[in-house]
Structure 1
């Protein structure tokens, strides 16, 4: 790049605000900075109810998952988090049971934000369960709450993370809605979490049902892409396929993601998943991401060309959702990214996204990344003033 190009890119970067991070390690006794440079604080200044606990075998999990705060009294308990000036935020709540009570009985309970229903948290004996939402904060803060659903099923929290976003990110989101994350995938990126095997077929697909998983990299914390690669600390799951689908890597390390407002990290755009020939479609089944019953869906697709195309090469493909053509022609750019938003009033586990080449294409379709959300409407503008204590 020329000096002028470098200065232009730098000017694009500095006009955007640096995001604010709040990272709460629930039940921890000390503040610390993790290996990603993220500063974690204890939850003592956020809540007084509940009891701190340590999981069994704490050295086997990342530090924020080693402790938790469990609530044996009050049906509902909330963490109020300051967001000066309000605005759009990404909120992530994580739960690791880790048999802290030696009962081998992971609980189920409700998760809420600002008096809005978020998810039913179904915890696991030995897996971290995380839920993420993107929404607008109308006051100077937001509240993350857990509530008991059944007698003896005690709610707990391991970690709460709040990251401010730019006001024009996820611009298809109306302020009366929230986006509930169901999957954020970096196709072909290194540190693959899931490897899959399928029989060769005319139409290849990803992601595949878990029954087809042949090998799993258990060190997922090493595999994921997040801050500092992603300035907003979105967590991207690297995924790749074998026996049919092809992982491809960019022939350059130069990548400018600032050309799109959602600003995905360069690390997820320098790789892609594709097929072996121009006549083979890429089909993305959403069976592992969306529920059986139809829900409103918000889907971001990210495309970047992996090679510098010669004058006789053309990469052009259409995008279908089931039988509906939603994008007439994607021409992935080189050293930058094209982003497309798909919004569906009703999508489900049976929904599929198909990338199929146009007649003039000489290269097969490819995709670098995808985000899948459920859109939740009818939001309350805030939580009850007493929610920080009890309900």
Structure 2
């Protein structure tokens, strides 16, 4: 069971655990057409099997700094576009990373901004630049057996794009101090004392551990301890991230930790990792505490040699005004140290997504009509980026209330999407739909407007519709449809102009005949 996210902190000593192989290790080079292996041994694949919209674009060779960033996929025709990645793991903890490199691919020197989401949850507002590579990382427990990563246009004329996507399985027990229903958005991950970024294969989960740059107030020291490959902490930092450390300059000095919280105030989750760098003599002791805002915040920490201590803080309300430092105790003879650190901010509760009844109904429409298959991701979420041809309400679990497929080139018979029982309006006009009007329309309890104009429906209006009070049906432009074959009812029908003209002529003629009869009767009395 996950630890309560409101527990203030825990202190965990290193334990030996066997490394479990990752279930999912997907690397997508967006816009690329062929697979290749990079210099680290990571296999990157093209994106054609993950996305059905957008255009492949290339970054000018003079701007590119990595083969993975050479291409991108740009989306210009709809408000939300998504990648769909099957995991076959209905409940697993994953790390998802999305990369963005504008590189002035369009020659306009106008880097766009847009929204990024996953599984219907808002992730970030992406703000790109002409020269820098940006990436965003989230860790969470999936609720379905697939992952959707979507970008959405937020400014007219600024087209969203994506350069690369990585999905990595984590152990379900890792990062377990946060309950399963909340995501962790990575703010910073540091391997203190490292010379270069540590990632795959040194980290089997391919996390990025960046080297830290402390200029004048710390000393970089190597870790001489034999850190075994089978030794992992609860959140499983790689031994490579612990092989170096930084220490304060003197035994009485402190290390200021620049947390760089990029927000006014938010709940955060922080891991600090401490491993003694050398075998201490009998008269030596290294002991310190973590301070927050100049006050003690942790128990006394004595880092073990050949092992590691993880100090974790969960659900701390933090801001850019908070200060953190590592302060030696009065009895410490050696300066404090730190090997690695992870900083996350805790997201809002994960959504369950659009109501499953509506997801089922929309899937039946996408199966029947290939033109609709390119829409993926959650149909309604995040608001306001629903699919272009539906309207959703604002329920916690949203429902589809309008289905609008006017002029989408639909041809053939309609599938049964009666599970979409929250529909109030259906507009299927100006298509080439054939066959009888489905009976299930009459079973939709909330349906108020049904527009079937300018199709090729045949037969009669179903009795279930003709008896539905208050329903407005428009059926003009269906030459094979008999609008007078249904039983009378309070349903309002909108018929074709020819039928309306014929009806008006008959009504006028009937009025003339009645008037003539009345006049003749009057003359007979005279």
Coarse TM-score class (shorter-chain normalised): 0.7 to 0.9
Tell me the TM-score normalised to structure 1 length.
0.85
Paired residues of 1:176 and 1:379 also in contact (CA < 8 A): yes
- Match runs of 1:9-28 below 5 Å: 12-14=17-19, 16-28=20-32
Cα pair 2:268 2:314 within 8 Å, conserved: yes
* SS in structure 1 at match of 2:45: strand
**Conservation of the 8 A alpha-carbon contact between 1:302 and 1:369:** yes
Shift in Å at residue 378 of structure 1? 2.3
2:125 aligned with 1:120, yes or no?
yes
Matched, 1:268 2:272: no
1:101 aligns with 2:90: no
2:251 corresponds to 1:247: no
Unaligned runs of 5+ in 1: 1-8, 191-222
Q: Note if 1:228 corresponds to 2:201.
A: yes
Matched position secondary structure for 2:256: strand
Tell me the SS of whatever aligns to 1:267: helix
Q: Which sits farther off after the overlay, 106-115 or 354-363?
A: 354-363
Structure 1 residues 292 and 48, CA gap change in structure 2 (3 angstroms): closer
> 1:40 — aligned with what?
44
Asked if 1 retains the 8 angstrom alpha-carbon contact of 2:183 and 2:346, the reply is yes
Out of 339, 347, 364, the residue aligned to residue 376 of structure 1 is 347
What secondary structure, in the 3-state scheme, does the structure 2 residue paired with 1:327 have?
coil
1:63-83: CA deviation from partner (whole Å, max 9, x where unpaired) = 111100000011000111112
Look at both structures and tell me which one has the larger radius of gyration over its CA atoms.
2
- Say which of 68, 72, 75 aligns to 1:68: 72
Partner of residue 90, structure 1: 95
CA distance in structure 1 between the aligned counterparts of 2:319 and 2:73, rounded to whole angstroms: 35
Task: Say if 2:376 is the partner of 1:387.
Answer: yes
Q: Which residue of 2 aligns with 1:332?
A: 303
Alignment equivalent of 1:167, drawn from 160, 169, 172: 172
Unaligned runs of 5+ in 2: 1-13, 360-374, 380-386, 389-526
Deviations 1:307-356 (Å, cap 9, x if unpaired)? 11111111110112224422111111111211111124421112221111
Alignment of 1:282 with 2:255, yes or no, is yes
Select which of 36, 39, 53 maps to 2:57.
53
Structure 1 or 2: larger strand share? 1
Q: State the distance in 2 between where 1:330 and 1:345 align.
A: 20
- TM-score norm. by structure 2 comes to 0.63
Deviation digits for residues 342-384 of structure 1 (CA, Å, limit 9, x no counterpart) = 1244211122211111122111110011111110022212468
Distance 2:146 2:308 in 1: 33
Aligned-pair CA distance for 1:277: 0.9
Per-residue deviation, residues 292-311 of structure 1 (Å, max 9, x unmatched): 41111111101111111111
The answer on 1:318 being equivalent to 2:289 is yes
Deviations 1:49-74 (A, max 9, x none): 10000001267411111100000011
Q: Structure 1 stretch 248-257 or stretch 131-140: which is displaced more?
A: 248-257
Cα 1:180/1:43, change in 2 over 3 Å: same
Partners of 2:64 and 2:102 lie apart in 1 by 13
Out of 87-96 and 232-241, give the one that drifted further: 232-241
2:3 corresponds in structure 1 to: none
Alpha-carbon separation, structure 2, partners of 1:73 and 1:324: 54
Aligned length: 347
SS class of match (1:330): coil
Residue aligning to 2:83? 79
- Higher relative CO (Cα under 8 Å, sequence separation at least 6) belongs to 1
8 Å CA contact 2:18, 2:230 repeated in 1? no
C-alpha RMSD over aligned residues = 1.9
Equivalent pair of 1:257/1:265 in contact (CA under 8 Å): no
For the residues of structure 1 that align with 2:159 and 2:63, how far apart are their CA atoms? 24
Matches for 1:166-205 after TM superposition, within 5 Å: 166-190=171-195
SS of match in other structure, 1:42 = coil
Distance 1:186 1:357 in 2: 21
* CA distance in 2 between partners of 1:58 and 1:338 (Å): 45
